[in-house]
Amino acid sequence: MAGSRKPARAEEPNRRADIVRAASRLFAAKGYAATTIRDIAKAVDMQSGSPFYHFKTKHDMLRAVALEGMETIARAVGAAAAQGGTPREVFDRMLLAHLEQLLGEDGRCFAATLLHEGRHLDPEALAELVVQRNRYEALWQEALKQLKRAGEIADDSPVARLFLLGALNWTVQWYRPDGGRSVKQIARQLSTLLLKPKL
């Protein structure tokens, strides 16, 4: 509508990445099925047929968004886990990393798409994603195991991991950056809720 021509920062326009980013925003806001190719094209100032020069199908755009979302989170939390320290320090760093990717400016639309639109992926793309997700969740299982060994948490079972990830992933539904609560605060509150008092 309001002529939103991009600043076009010289060099490598990388229109493919533009499409993926626009798609992530639209998929997150309206859902995959309700987003049209024309929506995406308009968001990057293209004609309606042009996105197909970069992607074979609409489904391929969804796959690109979902995979990028998963990879980004796994990379950030993996790095946090690899830094070492007490089980509690590791866990707190992982919480913060996960929430920063989920709620941060750049990542939130990728994460929301990943978490909500997975059912529109074909079996092959879904399987690919599940492999990565299992690897990712194993990081958390290990972190819980260390916490339990240190006597800092009441339960380190797979169900506990699912509850933890549920509490984290659900933040996408309610967290608003302008709501006065920082991501760091939120991460700390979850730590407080789950771990034994620090004394």
Partner DNA sequence: CCTACCGATCGGTAGG
Closest to DNA by CB, 15 vs 133, is 15
Q: Do residues 146 and 90 touch, judged by C-beta distance below 8 A?
A: yes
Q: Shortest Cβ distance from residue 173 to DNA (Å)?
A: 25
- Secondary structure of residue 30 in the 3-state scheme: helix
Closest to DNA by CB, 54 vs 133, is 54
Span of 33-41, 100-108, 123-131, 168-176 interacting with DNA by CB under 7 A? 33-41
Q: Which two tokens stand for residue 75?
A: 């990379």
Quick one: which of 69, 68, 55, 65 has its CA closest to 26?
A: 65
Quick one: which of 70, 73, 61 has its CA closest to 23?
A: 61
The binder of 123, among DNA, a copy of itself, none, by C-beta within 5 to 8 A per type, is none
The binder of 190, among DNA, a copy of itself, none, by C-beta within 5 to 8 A per type, is a copy of itself
Q: Shortest Cβ distance from residue 119 to DNA (Å)?
A: 16
Candidate list 5, 9, 56, 119; residue touching a copy of itself; CB under 8 A: 119
* CA dist., res. 74 & res. 98, Å (int): 8
Binding of DNA by 59 (CB under 7 A):
yes
Using CB under 8 A as the binding rule, the residues of this chain from 147 to 176 that contact a copy of itself are: 153-155, 157, 159-160, 162-171, 173-174
Q: Do residues 172 and 115 touch, judged by C-beta distance below 8 A?
A: yes
* CA dist., res. 43 & res. 189, Å (int): 37
DSSP 150-189: TT--S--SHHHHHHHHHHHHHHHHH--TTSS--HHHHHHH
Q: Shortest Cβ distance from residue 9 to DNA (Å)?
A: 14
Q: Shortest Cβ distance from residue 89 to DNA (Å)?
A: 45
Binding of DNA by 58 (CB under 7 A):
yes
**Contacts to DNA by CB under 7 A:** 13, 15, 35-38, 41, 45-50, 52-54, 56-59
